Structure 1
Amino acid sequence: MPAEAPTILATSGGFRRGPRGLEFSPLLRHGLDLAGRPGADRRSRVTYLGTAGGDQRSAAAEVHAAGARAGVEVTVLDLFPMPSVDDVAATLLGSDLVWVGGGSVANLLAVWRVHDLPGHLRAAWEAGVVLGGVSAGSICWFRGGTTDSYGPELRPVTDALAFLPYGNGVHYDSESRRRPLVHRLVAEQVLPTTHCTDDGVGLVYRGTELVEAVSDVAGAGAYVVERGADGRAAERRLAVRRLG
């Protein structure tokens, strides 16, 4: 069931730990809601890409188990040591939701480009498949953001996929160095206007328009950081709708 318009859910959340292990949070389930309900003849389909974490088998097993508990059909698309499906484009187009895990956004972008993933993902997005993810899996959809891909010190990445024409700041409340670096990079025009999320918050885009911020954590925030006429970065907090 394709979404009504190209849709992205960019988050600092998604899966979470429950009594039985990894589970879909309300935030990740919202990604499926954005895709619309499939027909009665099949379950919702999620394709998971763990490229940013190195396609770890243990993570893939947990995602499969979480999908089974949620009543969701999960396909894990690995790229190491080779693509794990015969037709990558068809797998993505046949999904309701493509979810990208966290890790190294720099490595993710390099590996995806080797395998022509950006074009396949854009085609799926334009066809109504919802794209989503956490951390690296959020930054990748934007022009760039802040990352620890290169080492302990945060640095900018500026060559992401740019489906969305903004910067992206993740883990805005839980990692103290993120906020001041975003402000500096926006002021210096290294990043454009940048949309940021506290942990547990997601940003919903229809086309390239930010239409809503949602959260499954009480009090968590979303923010827009933009450069003012005085050359300084200014931050504006957005309204956030709490998910059940």
Structure 2
Amino acid sequence: MITISLILERFGAYMERHIIAISGGGFSEMEGAFIDQYILKIKRKASPLRIAFVATASNDAQSYIGKFYNAFKCEHPSHLAIPDFELATIQEVVNSLDIIYVGGGNTKYMLDVWRKTGFDEVLKKAYEQGVILTGISAGAMCWFEHCYTEISESEYGYFEGLGILKGALCPHHNDSTRKKYFDKWSLKNSTTPTYPLEDHENLHFVNEQCIAKLETY
């Protein structure tokens, strides 16, 4: 099993920019998931970490937010709801965090809201300041240049992601319908780096380079 200690040993203790893309699992499915503990250890220090949940993709579902607070109750958890994105101090608030954790749901809706409110640029600036970005499903694929996923119950389509990372990621690639559509799109866009991940697979990027493939549990 890959541990954060091995990562630090290989790449050095000081790593400026981190993105962890989670295909499935994590706190929404089980307590103490390995991938969540791994994320915390990247920036672990003596005091609890400041970690904020962004549940835009689920339209700020309260049950989802509640699971986050329960999972990270030993840290300093908070959440950023859609109305918060237009606060005059939102950049300072986000820059003060250690980790931003983005939840799953409707990726296109989430990105549309972020762009309308300017929260997309807030996240990019915070990332440059060393705030760790992570997320599951929609919160994993959004960091990439391209998103190809379902846009309704019966339709798949392409739209632009935030473009921090090159290429496109497909979470839940073990789902036969998703796999069929994504693989077909990938063949038509063969020059685009793609990352098809099954539900137990996740990726760790440091300074926009993929350095590790991780297990969820």
TM-score between both structures, scaled by the size of structure 2: 0.85
In the alignment, does 2:38 pair up with 1:26? no
Distance 2:101 2:143 in 1: 12
Does 2:30 correspond to 1:11? Answer: no
Cα distance in 1 for residues equivalent to 2:77 and 2:88: 16
Q: How does 1:93-172 map to 2 (within 5 A)?
A: 93-148=95-150, 150-172=151-173
**Which residue in the other structure is 1:178 paired with?**
178
Aligned residue-pair number: 204
Tell me, in whole angstroms, the C-alpha distance in 2 between the residues paired with 1:190 and 1:107.
27
Q: Does 1:47 align with 2:52?
A: yes
Following superposition, the deviation at residue 45 of structure 1 comes to: 1.3
Deviations 1:37-73 (A, max 9, x none): 22x3x311111000000012222222212221xx111
Q: 1:15 to 1:154 in 2, by over 3 A?
A: farther
Alignment deviations for residues 173-197 of structure 1 (CA, whole Å, 9 cap, x no partner): 1x11122222211211288221121
Identity of aligned residues (%): 24
In structure 2, distance between residues paired with 1:94 and 1:73:
12
Query: Larger relative contact order (C-alpha < 8 A, sep ≥ 6)?
Result: 2
5+ residue gaps, structure 1: 218-244
Partners of 1:78 and 1:17 in 2: CA distance: 22
Q: Which residue matches 2:206?
A: 206
Task: Label 1:185 to 1:176 Cα distance change in 2 as closer, same or farther (>3 A).
Answer: same
Question: Contact (CA 8 Å) 1:139, 1:160: kept in 2 or not?
Answer: yes
Runs of 4+ aligned residues of structure 1 deviating over 3 Å after TM superposition are 82-86
Contact 2:85 2:119 in 1 (8 A): no
Q: CA deviation at 1:153?
A: 2.6
In structure 2, the CA distance between the partners of 1:211 and 1:178, relative to structure 1 (3 Å rule), is: same
Q: Residues 97 and 184 from structure 1, CA distance in 2 versus in 1: closer, same or farther, beyond 3 angstroms? A: same
Q: Could you say what the CA RMSD is over the residues aligned between the two structures, in angstroms?
A: 2.2
Give the TM-score taking structure 1 as reference length.
Answer: 0.77
Distance in 2 between residues matched to 1:55 and 1:84, nearest whole Å: 15
Say yes or no: does 1:193 pair with 2:205. Answer: no
- Measured at CA, do residues 151 and 215 of structure 1 come closer, stay the same or move farther in structure 2, by a change above 3 Å? same
Deviations 1:93-143, CA, capped at 9 Å, x for gaps:
111111100000000001001121111111111111110001100110011
1:194 aligned partner, one-letter code: T
> Given residue 157 of structure 2, which amino acid in structure 1 is its aligned partner?
P
Cα deviation, 1:145-165, whole Å, max 9, x if unaligned, reads: 3322x2113513331101001
Letter in 2 for 1:45: R
Does the CA contact (< 8 Å) of 1:32 and 1:96 recur in 2? no
Mark the runs of 5 or more structure 2 residues left unpaired by the alignment: 1-12
Partner amino acid, structure 1, of 2:78: T
Residues 15 and 127 of structure 1, relative CA distance in 2, 3 Å threshold? same
- SS of the residue corresponding to residue 167 of structure 1 reads strand
In 1, the alpha carbon distance for the partners of 2:120 and 2:98 equals 18
Hey, what's the Cα distance between the residues in 2 that align with 1:107 and 1:188? Answer: 25
Please identify which structure carries the higher helix content.
Answer: 2
1:79 maps to 2:85: no
